[in-house]
Chain A
């Protein structure tokens, strides 16, 4: 039996992190992820909407009734469960980074 929560896919985690500041729509989330990762992660459209669909199904994000500047688009925001999942994932990643850093696997310039 597992003692840790199942980790998210990198794209799902990135979506949750991108939504941490508030509601956003699909294209803005893609742009935010590209900006947050310095262009390292450039989600394709199909993968992006599949990930959004699964996060909605799992209850980690919900559709936001409040529309932003583009009212035609669907806006998504974190649910309480999603925020908790994002926290757990961030903690897990931080722990991994600590281990990698202790083993000198991360160049100083990247920190």
Chain B
């Protein structure tokens, strides 16, 4: 009976995406088998049904999470395209020589991640202003080194880290955790 129920449980794990199953599948199977082995046949059947139902619901949540990630990635990509398009449009209005310099002149970047909103103003390739959750930050909290821009919180720790590639008009950043929402101005990034 235990073997049959375990086989059913393992089959239900196929509802999870393959990457999830590859990481956690074996441990989940072991835990399930261990849990039902000491139960009576009836209790084991009830426990197995409950576990399989839970797997189905969890798999739906994992797959919905993946869909949300894809949506965020699409929004991020569109953000980059919009920034690039704005820079290109402003460059087209200038002379060819100025057009080469235009991407360096002025960028106002607005973004959102699980911790909340932030903005970054870049002038002539240098960060000159930033806000987190609409709170303006003093300029001395913006640290610029090479392609890296780090924003420090009041305690002096890094609260936001970005990479700015001015020649490609591209900005990337490390998304902050949702646990920082509401106190993102001083929520330290993992180093």
Contacting residues of chain A (39-87) with chain B, CB-CB under 8 angstroms:
44-47, 49-50, 52-54, 58-60, 73-74, 79-81, 84-85
Residue B44 CB within 8 A of the other chain: no
Residue A6 CB within 8 A of the other chain: yes
Inter-chain CA distance A30–B31, complex, in Å, is 10
Q: Which of B50-58, B87-95, B164-172 contacts A (4 or more CB under 8 A)?
A: B50-58
Residues of chain B with a CB closer than 8 A to A54's CB = 65
* Contacts A53-B20, A73-B27; A45 near B32 (Cβ below 8 A): yes
Inter-chain CA distance A3–B182, complex, in Å, is 5
Residues of chain B with a CB closer than 8 A to A59's CB = 177, 190
Inter-chain CA distance A25–B35, complex, in Å, is 16
Query: Interface size (B, Cβ < 8 Å)?
Result: 34
Query: Interface size (A, Cβ < 8 Å)?
Result: 31
Residue B18 CB within 8 A of the other chain: no
Residues of chain A with a CB closer than 8 A to B123's CB = none
Contacting residues of chain B (10-48) with chain A, CB-CB under 8 angstroms:
20, 23-24, 27-28, 30-32, 34-35
Nearest-Cβ distance from residue B39 to partner chain A, whole angstroms: 13
Please name the 4 residue pairs, one residue from A and one from B, whose CB atoms are nearest each other, closest first. A46-B58, A44-B54, A46-B55, A2-B182
Q: Which residues of B contact A (CB under 8 A)?
A: 20, 23-24, 27-28, 30-32, 34-35, 50-51, 54-59, 61-62, 65, 114, 116, 133-134, 177-183, 188, 190
